[in-house]
Structure 1
Amino acid sequence: MIDSIRHAENLARTDIVKVGKSLFERGLTFGSTGNISIRLDEGGWLMTPTNASLGDLDPARLSLFDSTGRHIGGDAPTKEGALHLAMYSQRQDARAVVHLHSTHSVAVSMLEGIDPLDVLPPLTAYYVMRVGRLPLVPYLPPGDAELAKAVGALSGAHHAVLLANHGPVVAGTSLANAQYATEELEETARLFLLLGTRAIRPLTSQQVAVLRQRFDPK
């Protein structure tokens, strides 16, 4: 039993390192920004530590939390860990959370006139399927307890939120799903900015309703 728990934790460590490296090398995060976490089967979480580049993670130094959210191993945790724990507290289906400062998503979060209840229009089917509705969390300083509370207040109804002037926080039923949804969000933000002031033809409300009924990306 103990060996199987250790094996599962080692796999989770390897997955975090692999995904972090992929995101970094493709320019979806930079410097020491962004963080990734995984909920462990036996309780607790693994999370990327503070001041660490996602492109150069050491699996042995990832921050380890117990089931109460107490830091019990690895390097000092990121100050944004509370964002992850707030998302997990409201989503029992969440197995992983990805938070990035991805360029196009952050740019959209700073625009005047965006809908704070649903920031991006339904430009593509895969955006609706993987992200769904995307609410905007008003700006609060990174690491602020009120920011985590604001994320928690929205995450029961939304598995993806956008922090104003900061970036997305996305939960998934697996690390792969959280990664893919984050990437789909960033690509849709890029498309939105590329379209600029041109007249667009997003999916109709009926088309969106069909996708939500079939795939329920809430």
Structure 2
Amino acid sequence: MTRSLGERGLFITFEGGEGSGKTTQIERAASFLRGHGREVVTTREPGGSPGADAIRRIILSGRAREFGPDVEPVLFSAARADHIQQFIRPAIEEGRDVLCDRFHDSTRVYQGLGEDAEREFLSRLERATLQGLYPDLTFVLDLPAALGLQRAAARRGADEADRFESEGVELHEARRQAFLRIARSEPERCEVIDAARSVDEVAASIEAALRERIGLGEIGR
């Protein structure tokens, strides 16, 4: 599937808990799409632009928590707004597909498990930040939280756990269920992938979904 001149690129996000393999699967999906003649760039959140990367370091250090529950989502939104303006929107408008490791669903899940008033605040913040730029397709890489934390620890090795990896398995499992609720509420956008399988099996499921959802045929056809 080749791109027509002036065609808008796709915005595809990858969501899931710690250790779900998003980084690996983004690279596999990018290679798959490039094999079909598409221009692809990859990025991540928080981060993805110089301003957003600076905010990322503050968030992952955990220093924002001492300022109250509303500060962290505001920092995420500031990073996201810069990421959209400096990287995501220009790439899409230039006809490139953007594959992003986490986006607004992670903020809904990681900062949105509190009271209803907090969720309403997050909803208003989301609309103001995104300005209508929502993903065309979201892959939710799903696996039990305990397994994900084991994988994250193995990947991390001797390095210290970050702000999120250090939290308890019960909270991570609650976040897993929150991702699944989002997927059930927006099936036209979200595709749940069983991430407890091997890397190759997960990649095959993502490739099959890409073929179906964006009309890709076999390579060379």
What's the TM-score, normalizing by structure 1? Answer: 0.27
The higher-RCO structure (CA 8 Å, 6+ apart) is 2
Normalising by structure 2, we get a TM-score of 0.27
Task: Decide which structure has greater helix share.
Answer: 2
